[in-house]
Amino acid sequence: MKKITITILLITTLSTTFFIGCDSLNQYPISEKSSATFFSDEDQFNQAIAGCYYILRQYKLRDHIYFRLTESRSDNTFQLQDYDDGQTSRFEETSALPLLNDMWAASYNAINRCNTVLENLEKVDFEMNRDQIEGEARLIRAMVYFDLVRIYAGVPIIDKTLTLSESYTVERSTMQEVYNFIKEDLTKASDLLPSSTISGRFNKYVAIAYMGKVLVFESGYPLKNNKWNEAKDWLKRVIDSNQFEFFPNFEDIFLYANESGKQSVASFTCLSGVGNQGNPFPSRNAPRDIAKSGELGIIFGGNAACLHISEDLVNSFESNDFRLPISIQQVWKHTNGNLIDNEPYCRKYQDGPVSTAHDWDIDYIDYRFDEVLLLYAECLNELGFVADGESFNIVNNFRLRAGLAPKTSAEIQSQDDFRLWIENERRWEFIGENIRWFDLVRTDRALDVMNAFLTPYNYGGNVTKDRYFYPIPLRATNENPNLLIDPGFK
């Protein structure tokens, strides 16, 4: 049976008017009167936490905001058309780009909702499962800040609801301060949340897995803190939990029959035909002129802003890699009946019921167990290269699943060789999953890789280290000039 618990809560929350929508950081907070009258029982706290999930899910999936800032930024895709992600793809964006404000506004809306929940929990004088609610609020807040710090670098840390006048004076924190805040929230969330999964909601292993990932990123550019051993330990807790599974068949990861299964550490519940709660990914990534039926078409068609997979990515695959045809549709049928073979697109999640375009009934994976394994292997290598050791075995399992021969120390002879190997395997594994761009930044390879990638398009000179992070949106800095002050990394 379809997991619908959180979906129902989301719909309920949409009709709850005490949450004020945020267009920028400087929005009126929830009034004391409305919040006081709302948080009167556990059901209302559950509705409130569903509102936190809702915004996270909206910017990471439904509104395509996150995808357009990450996947389009990488060498996996290229967009010549002048949509928002065309500008990010070509490294031509400015602080006036609406997409940047969309991300900023959604993020601080989510943070405001989490802060409101946490503040009202302190006033509770009745019996309720407060650990679950507090853990979820802290986890979601940490996830949002992890996205913000990787997109904008140092951002304001807001840990309480603000008055309008207070919001005009906030300042950016350093990246290090933001990472410290994230880790504090994740540590508390991992202690508070249960091990077992409540349908559609995050458990403690989501917090533990995210802590491992956060520590890996803190170890990379630009902070370059040596947190590899700590990251390894947190990731190992997820692996040793026996709650998750490395699927032997790559295609099974994205099938409707396996949605939110043991291949997923964290997923967003999607339900077709219920208030735009479906997964938009398959339609959003299909070409506008694709046929609406048949083996080489897609029901309800595609999208004008489709991000086409780059020739560079297709050509990078080794021969007979199973991941290529499962992840990328290289030939598709045009509405005029012709076959198109020079505009490939990402075809993941094309399974399950669908009622309208952009509304597929298949849950979207935010964090795969496969990434936990590859991050763990990366930690092992950073702690000391061991020829044909455990890290080799982990990565070779991915190659064997892809139908490829395993690599040995005869080919991978050093720590640097392993770094490049795992970078490539992650690229082939996680196409369309918002991972590649962040990988290039944290390894400080974005400058070289993206300049080489964009040079044939005549945009190579656009890539500088200043563009590793996006500018704070113009709308936000106009309202609060303090946000123009860059506090630096440390």
For the chain, domain boundaries: 5-202+469-484
- Tokens describing residue 310: 């780059």
Banded pLDDT at 165 (limits 50, 70, 90): confident
Specify the range with the lowest mean pLDDT, choosing from 28-42, 108-122, 187-201, 378-392: 28-42
pLDDT at 18 exceeding the cut of 50: no
Identify the CATH number of the domain defined by range 5-202+469-484.
1.25.40.390
pLDDT of residue 157: 98
The whole-angstrom separation of Cα 308 and Cα 361 is 23
pLDDT of residue 22: 34
The whole-angstrom separation of Cα 304 and Cα 287 is 7
pLDDT of residue 34: 54
Tell me if the bond preceding 287 is cis, omega within 30° of 0: no
pLDDT at 309 exceeding the cut of 70: yes
- Tokens describing residue 430: 């996680």
pLDDT at 79 exceeding the cut of 90: no
Q: List CB contacts of 27: < 8 A, sequence separation 6 or more.
A: 20, 21, 108, 109, 112, 164, 167
**Residue 474 DSSP class:** H
Closest by Cα among 400, 393, 388 to 373: 393
Residue type, 124: V
- Tokens describing residue 76: 């996996």
Q: Mean of the pLDDT values across residues 386-404? A: 98
Q: Mean of the pLDDT values across residues 357-367? A: 95
pLDDT of residue 32: 37
Per DSSP, the three-state class of 279 is strand
pLDDT of residue 12: 34
- Tokens describing residue 470: 């996006």
pLDDT tens, residue by residue, 436-465: 999 999 999 999 999 999 999 999 999 999
pLDDT at 400 exceeding the cut of 70: yes
* Percent of the chain surpassing pLDDT 90: 84
H helices of 241-332, where? 281-284, 311-316, 323-327
Q: Mean of the pLDDT values across residues 49-55? A: 96
pTM for the predicted model, two decimal places: 0.93
Query: Are the C-beta atoms of residues 344 and 380 closer than 8 Å to each other?
Result: no
pLDDT of residue 285: 93
Q: Mean of the pLDDT values across residues 218-241? A: 98
pLDDT at 323 exceeding the cut of 60: yes
The residue with tokens 């956060």 is: 214
Mean pLDDT estimate for the chain: 91
